[in-house]
Amino acid sequence: MNQFRFDRHERQIPYIIIAIISGIVGALMVVLAVKFTGLGAALVSPAPVQPVQPVPQQASPPEIRVEQPVAPSARSLSLNEYEQATINVVKKASPTVVMITTNTIIEEFDFFTGPGFRNVEGLGTGVIYRKDGYIVTNNHVISGLKGTAADKILVVLNDGSSYPAQVIGADPQTDLAVLKIDHQNLPTPQWADSDRVQEGQIAIAIGNPLNKQFRNTVTVGVVSAKGRAVEISSESVLRNMLQTDASINPGNSGGPLLDSSGRIIGINTAIAAKSQGIGFAIPGNTVKTVADQLISKGYVSRPGMGIRYYVLTPENTEVLEYRLRRKLPVNNGILIVQVIKNAPAHLAGLVPGDIIVKINGEPIGKEDFREVVGKYKIGTKLKVDFYRGRELKQTTVTVDELKP
């Protein structure tokens, strides 16, 4: 053990000597550096103040701006041009719109009290047509329960004054009628050329929906379509109608459908059953043509043949064959069921049971027969192809004026 410890002590002696020599050399070098390099003066003198150099700034990132809601100004709270235009239309047209009320006395029988009478009231709208008291409205507005005129018709003007009205004429085929009140210098509306109406243009309806409480109600929409056919009964179809989504309710009938300038483009007449946003108006040009004839003649002059008929279609031919107990030669055409004596058809030799299939070479199918004949002027000679039994024949019919 002693040998082990002794040997270890002898190895440490050279390291100690090296450390002492290194210390002496280092101290000597420091003394020489202080004396000959000026480092000593630097150590005892205060350090000079160095000017502060501005730190170069990095390019700032792009500023992010957040749009803040602008406080409403007087301009933003004011009416826009569209709203103001609508208001102007209403102000312009309202004085020419009237409310029409009707009363019809009907006789009825009660099991306990016996025979009696009941008053049925009606409500609609009309438009002043001429300043001397002529009013245009729908035929169904002034009709009683049996199709004749109501027993009492009253016209209420925009200022609230009311006048009894006389029926000048009515045309069930177009559902139009003209009334007359004893009043002069009435305001009249402007009429647009309804042939130039465009789908999508603004349509404004004014009328008296539901009851007197809601008179002069305004609704706004667009002209949804043109040239619509509307079946209002099994025997009557209104042709070339304007379709609109401006709300038209019971009581609006007979009121004006206006463009954005306040001109009448049509007379509201019907709404599609079980639908929303589908109403129809009679084009203004048709209204003026019919109204002028009703005022001058009391009826509308139309060319015709003087027949009553069924329209044959593939859908109803089988039913008609069953009722007639015979096979029909075609399933498209006009089946004559009555010929008026001395009317054009009677003079041309047509009889009930004949089936008209062509007029002047034009096939007669689902088109309204009156519309086809109505294209020709009174006095025009038409070549009519028809079936009698199973034989195809031809005759000439001279179109004449038919009075209602």
Q: How far apart are CA 356 and CA 353, in angstroms?
A: 10
Pairing of strands 162-164, 152-156: antiparallel
Q: How far apart are CA 201 and CA 260, in angstroms?
A: 8
If you average pLDDT over each of 21-25, 56-60, 287-291, which comes out highest? Answer: 287-291
Q: How far apart are CA 288 and CA 162, in angstroms?
A: 25
Segment among 99-108, 351-360, 391-400 with least mean pLDDT: 99-108
SS3 of 399, please? coil
Q: What is the value of pTM for the model shown?
A: 0.70
Segment among 88-92, 202-206, 270-274, 315-319 with least mean pLDDT: 270-274
Neighbouring CB atoms inside 10 A of 30's CB total 10
**pLDDT tens readout for residues 12-49:** 555 566 656 666 766 666 555 555 555 555 444 454 54
Which DSSP helix (H) or strand (E) runs through 179? strand 176-180
- The predicted pLDDT at position 143 comes to 87
**pLDDT tens readout for residues 76-127:** 445 688 888 889 999 999 999 999 999 988 877 776 777 777 888 889 999 9
- By CB neighbour count within 10 A (0-12 exposed, 13-18 middle, 19+ buried), where does 366 fall? exposed
Specify the CATH number of the domain 92-180.
2.40.10.10
**What one-character-per-residue DSSP string does 256-301 give?**
EEE-TTS-EEEEEEEE-TT-SS-EEEEEHHHHHHHHHHHHHTSS--
Nearest to 155 by CA among 128, 175, 174: 128
Neighbouring CB atoms inside 10 A of 353's CB total 15
Stretch 3-17: mean pLDDT, rounded?
47
Q: How far apart are CA 222 and CA 246, in angstroms?
A: 7
**pLDDT tens readout for residues 369-386:** 887 888 898 999 999 999
302-402 CATH fold:
Pdz3 Domain (2.30.42)
Mean pLDDT over all residues of the chain? Answer: 82
Q: How far apart are CA 232 and CA 250, in angstroms?
A: 14
Angle ∠(137,224,203) on CA atoms, nearest 5: 55
Confidence label for 145 from pLDDT (cuts 50, 70 and 90) = low
8 Å CB contact between 263 and 196: no
- The predicted pLDDT at position 195 comes to 94
Confidence label for 208 from pLDDT (cuts 50, 70 and 90) = confident
Q: Above 70 in pLDDT, residue 205?
A: yes
Please give the backbone phi and psi of residue 93, each rounded to the nearest 5 degrees, phi first. -90, -30
| Structure tokens, 382 | 């038409």
Give the single-character DSSP code of 253. T
Q: Above 60 in pLDDT, residue 170?
A: yes
| Structure tokens, 365 | 């199918």
Higher-pLDDT residue of 34, 274: 274
Work out the percent of the chain whose per-residue pLDDT is above 70: 74
8 Å CB contact between 198 and 183: no
Confidence label for 60 from pLDDT (cuts 50, 70 and 90) = very low
| Structure tokens, 137 | 């409205």
Neighbouring CB atoms inside 10 A of 236's CB total 12
- The predicted pLDDT at position 247 comes to 84
**pLDDT tens readout for residues 222-233:** 999 998 988 766
8 Å CB contact between 189 and 255: no
Q: How far apart are CA 392 and CA 384, in angstroms?
A: 11
Stretch 321-338: mean pLDDT, rounded?
92
Residue 306 neighbours by CB under 8 Å, 6+ apart: 339, 340, 343, 344, 345, 346, 400, 402
Nearest to 158 by CA among 192, 190, 187, 189: 187
- The predicted pLDDT at position 14 comes to 57
Q: Catalytic positions, please?
A: 140, 175, 253
Q: Above 50 in pLDDT, residue 206?
A: yes
Pick the CATH number of 194-296 from 2.40.10.10, 2.60.120.20, 3.40.390.30, 3.40.630.30: 2.40.10.10
Q: How far is CA 241 from CA 100, 229, 252, 303, in A?
A: 23, 6, 16, 21
- By CB neighbour count within 10 A (0-12 exposed, 13-18 middle, 19+ buried), where does 392 fall? middle
